[in-house]
Amino acid sequence: MKRLKAEEIANLPNVEQTEIKIDAWDVSIVVQGISKATQIVLGRSINQEEKDAFEYQRELLKACVIDPVLTDELIDELYKKDSQIVDLIFAEINNLNGFGGSADAETFQ
């Protein structure tokens, strides 16, 4: 195995992306994991603004769901739908980021 060189860091692969098939709605979405930089931004945001875990989950959805791009209004509409499907999205985000359980602020601190 070769040793990583400083000049190679910028060309390393980015975070993983995956398509989630939502059979109940006959659609799919594309989600991605979070980078360390995004993890830091989300963690600082939760600490500085005293957001609760539900507000943090909204920010996580906006950072990780890349197709379609979600706004606060679209997340409000999504939250009115079947909670099992929304939880499926969070589970896949957690899988991409190497975490089990629910997506909450404490997970990323």
Alpha helices in 1-109 (DSSP H): 36-48, 53-64, 72-79, 83-97
Domain count, the chain: 1
Which two tokens mark 55?
């507000």
Q: State the residue range of the domain holding 23.
A: 17-108
| Res 49: pLDDT | 65
Q: What pTM, to 2 d.p., does this model score?
A: 0.78
Give 56-86 pLDDT, tens digit per residue.
Answer: 889 999 999 999 999 999 999 999 999 999 9
* Token duo for residue 86: 């929304």
Say what the pLDDT of residue 3 is.
94
Say how far apart CA 75 and CA 86 lie, in whole Å. 10
Is 6 a member of any domain?
no
Is 21 a domain residue?
yes
Domain assignment present for 2: no
Question: Computed over its alpha carbons, how large is the radius of gyration of the chain?
Answer: 15
Mean pLDDT value across residues 94-105: 66
In a domain, 39, yes or no: yes
Residue 41 lies in a domain: yes
The answer as to whether 100 is a domain residue is yes
